[in-house]
Amino acid sequence: MAFPHDIKKISPTVWELPVHYKEGMLVPARIYATEKLLMAMDEGVFEQVSNVACLPGILKYAFCMPDGHWGYGFPIGGVAAMDPVTGVISPGGIGFDINCGMRLVLTNLTHEEVAPRIHELVDALFNRIPTGVGCKGFIKVSQSEFRDVLEEGSKWCLKKGFARPEDIEVTEEGGCFAGAESSSISDKAIERGIDQIGTLGSGNHYCEIQVAKDVNVFDEIIAKKFGFTVPNQVVVMFHCGSRGFGHQVATDYLKLFLQVMGSKYKINIRDRELACAPFHSKEGQLYFSAMKCAVNMAFANRQVILYRIREVFSRIFSKSPEDLGMDMIYDVAHNTAKLETHIINGATKEILVHRKGSTRAFGPVMEGIPSVYREIGQPVIIGGSMETGSYLLAGLETGAETFYTTAHGSGRTMSRHEAKKNVRGKKLQQDMEARGIYVRTDSWGGLAEEAGSAYKNIDEIAESTELAGLSRRVVKLVPIGNIKG
C-alpha cells in the first residue's frame, strides 16, 4: 500500500505521523520499520496508532514496532506511555491474551544428538502438554488455591515444586507482578482459568525444539554469556499466555469501561476498542489489579509447562534436567501495562507503559534486569513462524526513545481465514517434515493458520530492530520440532 499522505521519514527506520494527521492527536505517532516493512503494513496500523495518539495523558509518542499489524484497539506491536495522574489505562493497549509471552530454555545437547530422537521428543511433548481450544491441565486446584496462583505467579510454582529458584530469577519481574488482588476477578474468569495451568492453548502458541547453528551466531561474546557454549546447541522455546482467563478479564473490564467512560468520566475516544478509564479511578485500579492477576497466571502457566518439558527430556535421554543443562535463559512478557521509571523531558518520571504485542528490552545496567545479565542487557526473545526460526537478542542503551521496547514476533501478513483458504494443514505438515521440521497439532486448520507464508520475514524484523537501536541480534534459532494448538 502507499504511505499515508503526510508521513515523515525521521530516519531509515523511524517514520512519523504528525499531530495534524488526524484531529484529536495529542502527540505524534511513530512507526519503527524499514521502508520495505512499512510499505507492507496494513492500513489498520496507521489508523490505530494515530487513534492511540489521541488518548488522554499520552506522553511523547504513540509507537508501533516493525512487526506491527492490525489488532484490537492498539495495533499489534503498539506501545504507549501514559501519565498516571492525567492518563488512562486501556485493555485495548494490553490485549485479550494478557501476558502472552516467550520462554527460552537451554540444553547441553547438540543437533546431532537430538535429531535421531526428534519424533520421540515431539510426540512426548504433544502428549504431556495440553494443546488446543478448551484444553485442561494436570494441576487440580481449589478456587482458593487458584486465587493464590493469581496473586503469587511463579512464586506459587516454586512453593509447589514446579520451579527452581533460578527460574524465578530469570523471569521478568521475578514471575510476579506485585499488587495483584484476586478480589478484582469475576467468578466467570475463575471458572475459565482454574483448569488451564500448564496448557499451551491454540492460535499462534507453540512449543518448539530449536538449534543454534554456529553460522547463526551474531554476537559470540553475548551468546556465551546467555549460555550458548555447545556447537549446534539445542534449545526449547515456547509461547503462550493467560488463556481463557486473561480473555475473560479483558472482556469483563472492557464492558465496565464502556459503561463509565463517557457517562462518569466524560472521555471521548475515536474507537470503542480503546475503551479506557482514568488510571487512578476506582475502575482503572480494579482493572490494573485484575490484569496483574492474569499476568501472574500466565507466568505460572509457562512455569508448569517448563516442568513438563524437563520431565520429557529427562525421560527420553535418561538424565536429570540438571545433567542436561536445562536452565532458563529468560521469560519475557508481552501484552502488559507496567509502572516504570523513565526520563521524560529531561526529568525522571514514573509512567504507565502499555505494551501490546511488544517486548520490554531494557539496556545494560538498568534496574529490573537479572544480575547475571546486568552488564549485557536484558535477553529479548522474538518468535518467528514455525517454518522460519526465531531470534534471541539483547536490549540496548539506545532504546530509551521507545521506553526500552522492541518487537515481539514476525507479525502477520495474512489473516487466519485467508491462510486457511490458501494452505492445507496436512500437506504443510508433510512439507515441513521433508525440510527437517517435525510438527504435531490437534487441528489441521489451526496449523494452516500458522504457515510461514502468513507472517513477515523474521530476519527483516530482527535486523530492523537492530538498525533502529532497539535490540541487538545475538543468535538465530532454527526449528526442528514443534507442537501447535
- Give the model's pLDDT for residue 203: 84
78 band by pLDDT with thresholds 50, 70 and 90:
very high
- Give the model's pLDDT for residue 485: 77
Pairing of strands 438-441, 471-484: parallel
Print burial letters for 305-342: b (CB count within 10 Å at least 16), e (below 16): bbbbbbebbbebbeeebeebbbbbbbbbbbbbbbebeb
Query: Would you say 93 and 273 are in contact if contact means Cβ atoms under 8 Å apart?
Result: no
- Radius of gyration, alpha carbons of the chain: 21
The pLDDT of residue 424 is above 60 = yes
Do the annotations mark residue 368 as ligand-binding? Answer: no
* Stretch 415-422: mean pLDDT: 88
Do the annotations mark residue 410 as ligand-binding? Answer: yes
Query: Looking at 22-36, 245-259, 338-352, 402-416, which range is the least confident one?
Result: 402-416
* Stretch 75-84: mean pLDDT: 98
- Give the model's pLDDT for residue 317: 98
- Give the model's pLDDT for residue 1: 47
* Stretch 225-234: mean pLDDT: 97
Do the annotations mark residue 61 as ligand-binding? Answer: no
Q: What pLDDT digit, counting tens, does each position of 357-378 carry? A: 999 999 999 999 999 999 999 9
Q: What pLDDT digit, counting tens, does each position of 98-107 carry? A: 999 999 999 9
2 band by pLDDT with thresholds 50, 70 and 90:
low
CA atoms within 13 A on the CB side of 141: 24
Q: What is the DSSP letter of 129?
A: S
Pairing of strands 101-110, 76-82: unpaired
Q: To the nearest whole percent, how much of the chain has pLDDT over 90? A: 91
Q: What is the DSSP letter of 408?
A: -
- Give the model's pLDDT for residue 411: 86
Please classify residue 239 by burial: count the beta carbons closer than 10 Å to its beta carbon, then call 0-12 exposed, 13-18 middle and 19+ buried: buried
The pLDDT of residue 313 is above 70 = yes
Do the annotations mark residue 195 as ligand-binding? Answer: no
- 288: three-class secondary structure by DSSP: helix
Q: How far is it, in rounded angstroms, from Cα 102 to Cα 200?
A: 12
* Stretch 1-8: mean pLDDT: 77
What is the number of other CB atoms lying within 10 angstroms of the CB of residue 400? 13
Do the annotations mark residue 153 as ligand-binding? Answer: no
Pairing of strands 358-360, 206-212: unpaired
Do the annotations mark residue 97 as ligand-binding? Answer: yes
* Stretch 325-353: mean pLDDT: 97
Do the annotations mark residue 99 as ligand-binding? Answer: no
Do the annotations mark residue 208 as ligand-binding? Answer: yes
Catalytic choice (69, 247, 354, 408): 408
* Stretch 52-70: mean pLDDT: 97
Q: What pLDDT digit, counting tens, does each position of 290-306 carry? A: 999 999 999 999 999 99
Do the annotations mark residue 237 as ligand-binding? Answer: no
Do the annotations mark residue 247 as ligand-binding? Answer: no
User: Could you tell me the residue ranges of all domains in the chain?
Assistant: 8-95+340-358
> Catalytic annotation on 354?
no
- What single string gives the DSSP state of each residue in 308-323? HHHHHHHHHHTS-TTT
